Amino acid sequence: MDISVRTSPAESARGGAAERLSAMAHDDMRRVDALILERMGSPVPLIPKLARYLVEAGGKRIRPLITLAAARMLDYDGDAHLKLAAAVEFIHTATLLHDDVVDESDLRRGRRSANVVWGNAPSVLVGDFLFARAFMLMVDAGSLDALHVLSRAASIIAEGEVRQLAAKGDPDIGVEAYMTIIGAKTAALFAAAAEVPAIVAGRGREEAEALETYGRELGLAFQLVDDMLDYGGLSDKLGKSVGDDFREGKVTLPVALAVRNADADERAFWERVIRTREQRDGDFDHALALIRRHGALEATLEKAREHARAAQHALSIFPGNTWRESLSDLAGFVVDRAY
């Protein structure tokens, strides 16, 4: 099998829910984009240059989109949600910059990652800059409670990344530890992005917690599908190069499940390619064959589906409106990326 970046021919059709939501939130998102551009500004030329490289690579801005849509669902009529949405994207971008240094990645969404283009040092420092600017945006949003939620999320993300680093190369990490890692490194920011609009809109604990649950469950589903796509899901619209996790010895659910059901020969294979990382030509194809033999991609997808359903269920306490429907559809979209 060819290890390369792939894009699905039916990509645009499947991106429906995210695109519909983007269209609905278009005006808000334009204001968020303007804020992002303004707040990444600096008299030090390398900073906006490097930040723009990442921000423009873009993706779907799914995290700020959640913040914007949740604020609209709650009929929030201030503008703090715009600043919080921009802050969420800055935290995400800072994390990506540091992740690429930590993982020694070469590609990000099919482009050379910033650490390859500019080196590790500027990636670390511009990440710090964006992180600091995220907090300045949160201060401007004016809510200490929202600041608490987002700074706590940032701390949990870092913990999750360290856990992931410590677990690298351990094929026996197991399902539970894996879920703890993605709960921290990915779902915590989704949860915070969804929760903060309830805070600035002055809603009570019940609604804040429902949105937090929505975000967390959506984040888990998102990461599970991402990890699946790294083993050749049917579409790879993120442009993420297939096989990255494998080459880095990062154990995600598809591998954890295949290892759990491995016979002696298979176990020896996983020990070699993951723990000692002595990888040869054809190893990725063999790994994929083992993962498929044990139905690990289907099992991963099923787990993603469960979390997406839990995300949708969490929305049920809110009165039905088009924003609620779109947030619900978004959970479906996150899983549909797998096809």
Shortest distance (Å) from residue 40 CB to a second copy: 11
| Burial of 30 (C-beta count, 10 Å sphere; 0-12/13-18/19+) | exposed
Q: Which of 80, 69, 53, 55 is nearest to 18 (CA)?
A: 69
Q: In this complex, which beta carbon is closest to a second copy, that of residue 3 or of residue 125? A: 125
Residues at the interface with a second copy (CB under 8 A): 42-44, 46-47, 94-95, 98, 101-102, 120-122, 124-129, 131-133, 135-136, 138-139, 142, 144, 147-148, 151-152, 154-155, 157-159, 161-163, 165-166
Shortest distance (Å) from residue 117 CB to a second copy: 15
- Please give the distance of CA 210 from its chain centroid, rounded to a whole number: 20
Question: What are the structure tokens assigned to 199, written together?
Answer: 């805070």
Shortest distance (Å) from residue 93 CB to a second copy: 13
What lies within 8 Å, CB to CB, of 180 at 6+ separation is: 160, 163
Element (H, E) at 66: helix 62-73
Cα distance between residue 139 and residue 203, in whole Å: 20
Shortest distance (Å) from residue 308 CB to a second copy: 28
Q: In this complex, which beta carbon is closest to a second copy, that of residue 144 or of residue 317? A: 144
Question: What are the structure tokens assigned to 84, written together?
Answer: 């919080």
Question: To the nearest 10°, the Cα dihedral for 246, 250, 255, 257?
Answer: -170
Backbone φ/ψ region at 252: left (φ over 0), alpha (ψ -120 to 50), beta: beta
Q: What is residue 316's DSSP assignment?
A: G
Q: In this complex, which beta carbon is closest to a second copy, that of residue 72 or of residue 163? A: 163
Instruction: Decide if 336 contacts 21 (C-beta within 8 A).
Output: no
Shortest distance (Å) from residue 84 CB to a second copy: 14
**β-strand pairing of 111-112 with 107-108:** antiparallel
Report helix angle 16-24 to 322-336, nearest 10. 150
Shortest distance (Å) from residue 131 CB to a second copy: 6
| Burial of 18 (C-beta count, 10 Å sphere; 0-12/13-18/19+) | buried
Q: In this complex, which beta carbon is closest to a second copy, that of residue 45 or of residue 204? A: 45
Cα distance between residue 6 and residue 253, in whole Å: 21
Question: What are the structure tokens assigned to 274, written together?
Answer: 């993951």
Q: In this complex, which beta carbon is closest to a second copy, that of residue 163 or of residue 303? A: 163
Shortest distance (Å) from residue 189 CB to a second copy: 11
Q: In this complex, which beta carbon is closest to a second copy, that of residue 159 or of residue 329? A: 159
Q: In this complex, which beta carbon is closest to a second copy, that of residue 153 or of residue 242? A: 153
Q: In this complex, which beta carbon is closest to a second copy, that of residue 169 or of residue 239? A: 169
Shortest distance (Å) from residue 23 CB to a second copy: 33
Q: Strand runs (DSSP E) across 113-183, as ranges? A: none
Q: In this complex, which beta carbon is closest to a second copy, that of residue 8 or of residue 42? A: 42
Shortest distance (Å) from residue 158 CB to a second copy: 4
